[in-house]
Amino acid sequence: MSNTWAEIDLDALKRNIEYIRRRVGEHVRIMAVVKDDGYGHGAREIAEALIPAGIRWYGVANTLEGVVLRSVDTSVSIMVLGPVFSEDIPDIFAYRLTPIIVDYETAEQLDREAARRKTRIGVHVKIDTGMGRIGVWHEDFRRFIKDVKRLKHVSVEGFLSHFPASDTDIGFSRAQISLFKQVVETADQEEIKDCLLHMANSAAIMKIPASYFDLVRPGIMMYGLLPSPTFGGKYDISPVLSLKTRVSFIKKIKKGMTVSYGRTYKAKKDTVIATLPVGYGDGYNRHLSSRGRVLIRGKYAPVVGRVTMDQTMVDVGRIPGVKVGDEVVLIGKQGKNSITAEEIAKLVGTIPYEIVCAINKRVERVYVHRGSEHMAKNNL
Ligand SMILES: *Cc1c(COP(=O)(O)O)cnc(C)c1O
């Protein structure tokens, strides 16, 4: 095992999913969003844990991620949330991925390939109602859907849209919802009946019940994190990922001595410095230099000096008895104290998503089940 590892608590994941299910209701389907290797948690293992929990839809960023996920299960639906490139089309068919369509040319190419293979391809149409990223602009939808419906080998099975500000601008989000409804109604009534409509990401699941439609697409919330460090409200979720390491070296230093590159930290008094085998090369953000903190022996130890690629120093002058090999928590709980991805995101000026996605391949993922007792307690 490596000396820096991420512990993934699959029971916490299942509890978070159960909470989402309670929140959206039994009749609404859940698409677990597992792009970017499951937000750094490991898409394969996340899916392996969620399939027995009844989750039948998975969202990935691109075809390659879809191909990897298909090896986990042959029957679940895997939606590629990004646009399809023509090079991807053979894999879309071979691995039975569900593409979204955002332009007529790609829809035509999919139709041609489906015809060649003597089959049909199910697609969802992405509508841009204000995200400004990908999708058929809502004003162009009527025309677009007419054209797509003429394609004999393409079946439109769903319509989706995405929120740019479901965490910060409920008013704009509500306007998007009305727009989405209006636009979709212009598609053939019969067709909508059998179609899945979906819009909600985590923030919408937490704040806007009117966004649920037939399916919701939680990402960050499923991993037990809030969309932003300042996101308000109480939600019954807990973080799935903890990031841990071990003390690799200890030394006493004298007042006036400096620590790490650039000599940005100078000891104000004699103290003890512990070195940790983790750095920005693992995804421990360099902006945590002299700003972050870690947990050792249940107490907070501040990061001193620059975080380097592979190693980081912390001041343990106020924590007695620290030894080489002691477990250190960078994200997670130790004793009564904790450090959250939200706290780190705030310190480095980003969002919790980036903190977990940044955890590098070099960091081993260790999957833990905390046992049924813990689960039972939390399910009451
Ligand atoms: C990433 C993504 C989601 C999930 O977003 P969260 O904020 O993590 O819940 C949902 N839908 C689409 C289209 C996405 O790209």
- Ligand 1 atom, smallest distance to 33 CA: 4
Choosing from 146, 152, 255, 261, which is the catalytic residue? 261
Nearest-CA residue for atom 3 of ligand 1 = 201
Q: Of 14, 35, 126, 244, which one is the catalytic site residue?
A: 35
Are 29 and 57 contacting, i.e. CB atoms less than 8 angstroms apart? yes
Question: Tens digit of pLDDT for each residue in 249-268?
Answer: 999 999 999 999 999 999 99
104 to 32, 145, 146, 209: CA distances (angstroms): 28, 9, 11, 32
261 is catalytic: yes
Distance between CA atoms of residues 237 and 82, nearest Å = 28
Find the 125 Cα to ligand 1 centroid distance in Å. 16
Q: Are 266 and 257 in contact (CB under 8 A)?
A: yes
Phi, psi of 333 (to 5 degrees): -110, 150
Does 200 sit in the ligand 1 pocket, CB within 6 Å? Answer: no
pLDDT band at 1 (very low <50, low <70, confident <90, very high): low
- Specify the pTM: 0.95
42 lines ligand 1 (CB under 6 A): no
Question: Is the predicted pLDDT of residue 79 greater than 50, yes or no?
Answer: yes
For residue 285, what are its two tokens?
């953000």
| CA-angle at 236, arms to 334 and 358, nearest 5° | 55
The pLDDT assigned to 371 comes to 59
Q: Ligand 1 in contact with 81 (CB < 6 A)?
A: yes
Question: How do residues 280-324 score in pLDDT, each as one tens digit?
Answer: 999 999 999 999 999 999 999 999 999 999 999 999 999 999 999
Instruction: Check whether 375 has a pLDDT greater than 70.
Output: no
List, in order of start, the domains of the chain with CATH numbers. Answer: 10-223 (3.20.20.10), 241-349 (2.40.37.10)
Relative orientation angle of helices 372-379 and 10-24, to the nearest 10 degrees = 20
Nearest alpha carbon, ligand 1 atom 4: 219
Do residues 258 and 265 lie in contact, with contact meaning Cβ atoms separated by under 8 Å? Answer: yes
Mean pLDDT of 128-147: 96
Predicted local distance difference test score (pLDDT) of residue 380: 31
Distance 33 CA to ligand 1 centre (A): 7
Q: Which residues lie closer than 8 Å to 323 by C-beta, 6 or more apart?
A: 247, 250
C-alpha distances in Å from residue 86, one per residue of 57, 70, 90, 91, 147: 24, 20, 8, 10, 19
Average confidence score pLDDT of the chain: 95
Q: How far apart are CA 163 and CA 200, in angstroms?
A: 7
* 184 contact partners, CB below 8 Å, separation of at least 6: 127, 159, 192, 195, 197
User: Which ligand 1 atom lies nearest to the CA of residue 217?
Assistant: 10
Q: What is the pLDDT of residues 205-226, one digit of tens each?
A: 999 999 999 999 999 999 999 9
Q: In angstroms, rounded to a whole number, what is the distance separating the alpha carbons of residues 157 and 99?
A: 11
Are 81 and 61 in contact by the 8 Å Cβ rule? The answer is: yes
The reply to whether ligand 1 has any atom less than 6 angstroms from the CB of 82 is: no
Residues 6+ apart with CB under 8 A from 189: none
Q: Give the Å distance between the CA of 303 and the centre of ligand 1.
A: 33
User: CA separation (Å) from 360 to 120, 133, 161, 284?
Assistant: 39, 27, 31, 9
With cut-offs at 50, 70 and 90, classify the pLDDT of residue 193: confident
Q: Which residue has tokens 């199910």? A: 122
Residue pair 298/321 in contact (Cβ under 8 Å)? The answer is no
Q: Please tell me the distance between residue 108's alpha carbon and the centre of ligand 1 in angstroms.
A: 27
- Ligand 1 proximity of 246 Cβ (cutoff 6 Å): no
Ligand 1 centroid–CA 285 distance in Å is 23
Q: Is the CB of 69 under 6 A from ligand 1?
A: no
Residue 221 CA to ligand 1 center (angstroms) comes to: 10
Name which residue leads in pLDDT, 371 or 157. Answer: 157
